[in-house]
């Protein structure tokens, strides 16, 4: 007989599952009480356990490819799908619901110094999505991602691919500007990135480009240098996504802000974008190929 959890416990479990997904943990097992009856909270504390040693290599490979494995049916899977946009077919309406759910966010300390929340911008049905680290000063002022100098370079990169900014979707790991443009801290990323995952699941891009190490490491849950992250594809699908969507392929390249500091790496970034164009069947303008 299926036990019904009270709403407060369901909410706590949902947050725990989302946190684990962000940490790269996707397989969940329900451990029933063995020796003595336990409360719902005590059982929940044991709901997430490590796989057997023989499964360790397979699990690590799954984490590295960032493929979300489905939660076992009949266990705790219902609490993964507590997003307001579920069942909304129109991505415009779904993104609006996610933004409303985000609200005037005060979930982490980044809200204390922000001017505006920087949610995301672009085509809600885009085949290509770019994900950066976090807003800078110009983005914080305008409330739109990549509008400063790095944004202008990103626009040029998109144009060189034969696309317009309006053709793609652009977002960041965190939606509030870190003080002094510092790298967002782990707890800040963990708090904010579930909203990004919901955006990705709504847009359903065919390809995602992670701009910089921070974006790549948070999306893939892999702590590796850029030299190892670049030049290959990763399968990517956020937990709780529509089963009819096969997921996206994710590539990693340099952040435009880094390219401004070291223009010598622009050629390497172009190689990454060429890989993306080949996958999407995009033929760049003649000028970009000369």
Residue pair 163/123 in contact (Cβ under 8 Å)? The answer is no
Dist CA 244 CA 254 (whole Å): 31
| 212 in a structural domain | yes
Whether 48 and 162 map to the same domain: the answer is: no
Reported confidence tier of residue 94, pLDDT bands at 50, 70, 90 = very high
**Mean residue pLDDT across the chain:** 81
Give yes or no: residues 35 and 134 share one domain. no
Cα 190 from Cα 174, distance rounded (Å): 9
Instruction: Tell me how many domains the chain contains.
Output: 2
Assess whether 33 and 122 both reside in one domain.
no
Q: What does the pLDDT look like over 194-229, one tens digit per residue?
A: 999 999 999 999 999 999 999 999 999 999 999 999
DSSP for 64-114, written as a single string: HHTPPPPPPTTTTGGGG---TTTT---HHHHHHHHHHHH-S--SSGGGGG-
Confidence band (pLDDT; 50, 70, 90) for 96? very high
Burial of 118 (0-12, 13-18, 19+ CB in 10 A): buried
Report whether 236 contacts 250 (CB < 8 A).
Answer: yes
* φ, ψ for residue 129, nearest 5 deg: -130, 135
Range of the domain at 29: 7-80
- 255: in domain: yes
d(CA 133, CA 184): 8
Assess whether 115 and 238 both reside in one domain.
yes
Asked whether the predicted pLDDT for residue 78 surpasses 50, the reply is no
Residues 250-280 have pLDDT tens digits of: 999 999 999 999 999 999 999 999 999 999 9
One domain, residues 61 and 145:
no
Judge residue 198's burial from the number of C-beta atoms within 10 Å of its C-beta, 0-12 exposed, 13-18 middle, 19 or more buried: buried
Cα gap 287→101, rounded to integer Å? 43
Report the C-alpha gap between 251 and 240 in whole angstroms. 22
Residue 175, both tokens? 């939606």
In a domain, 105, yes or no: yes
The predicted model gives 110-119 an average pLDDT of: 97
Q: What is the pLDDT of residue 84?
A: 86
């Amino acid at each position: 007989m299926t036990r019904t959890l009270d709403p407060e416990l369901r909410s706590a479990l949902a947050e725990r599952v989302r946190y684990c997904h962000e940490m790269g943990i996707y397989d969940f097992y329900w451990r029933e009480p063995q020796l003595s009856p336990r409360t719902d909270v005590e059982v929940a504390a044991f709901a997430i356990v490590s796989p057997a040693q023989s499964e360790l290599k397979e699990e690590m490979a799954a984490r590295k490819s960032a493929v979300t494995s489905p939660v076992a049916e009949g266990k705790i899977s219902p609490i993964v799908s507590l997003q307001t946009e579920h069942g909304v077919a129109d991505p415009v309406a779904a993104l609006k619901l996610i933004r409303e759910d985000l609200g005037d966010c005060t979930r982490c300390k980044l809200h204390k110094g922000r001017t505006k929340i920087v949610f995301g911008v672009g085509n809600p049905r885009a085949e290509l999505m770019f994900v950066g680290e976090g807003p800078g000063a110009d983005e914080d002022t305008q409330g739109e991602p990549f509008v400063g100098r790095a944004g202008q370079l990103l626009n040029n990169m998109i144009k060189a691919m034969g696309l317009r900014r309006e053709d793609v979707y652009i977002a960041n790991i965190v939606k509030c500007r870190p003080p002094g443009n510092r790298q967002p801290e782990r707890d800040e990323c963990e708090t904010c990135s579930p909203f990004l995952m919901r955006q990705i699941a709504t847009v359903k891009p065919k390809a995602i480009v992670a701009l910089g190490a921070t974006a790549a490491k948070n999306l893939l849950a892999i702590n590796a240098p850029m030299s190892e992250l670049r030049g290959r594809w990763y399968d990517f699908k956020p937990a709780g996504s529509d089963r009819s969507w096969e997921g996206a392929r994710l590539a990693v390249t340099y952040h435009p802000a880094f390219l401004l500091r070291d223009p010598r790496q622009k050629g390497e970034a172009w190689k990454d974008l060429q890989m993306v164009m080949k996958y999407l069947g995009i033929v760049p303008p003649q000028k970009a190929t000369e």
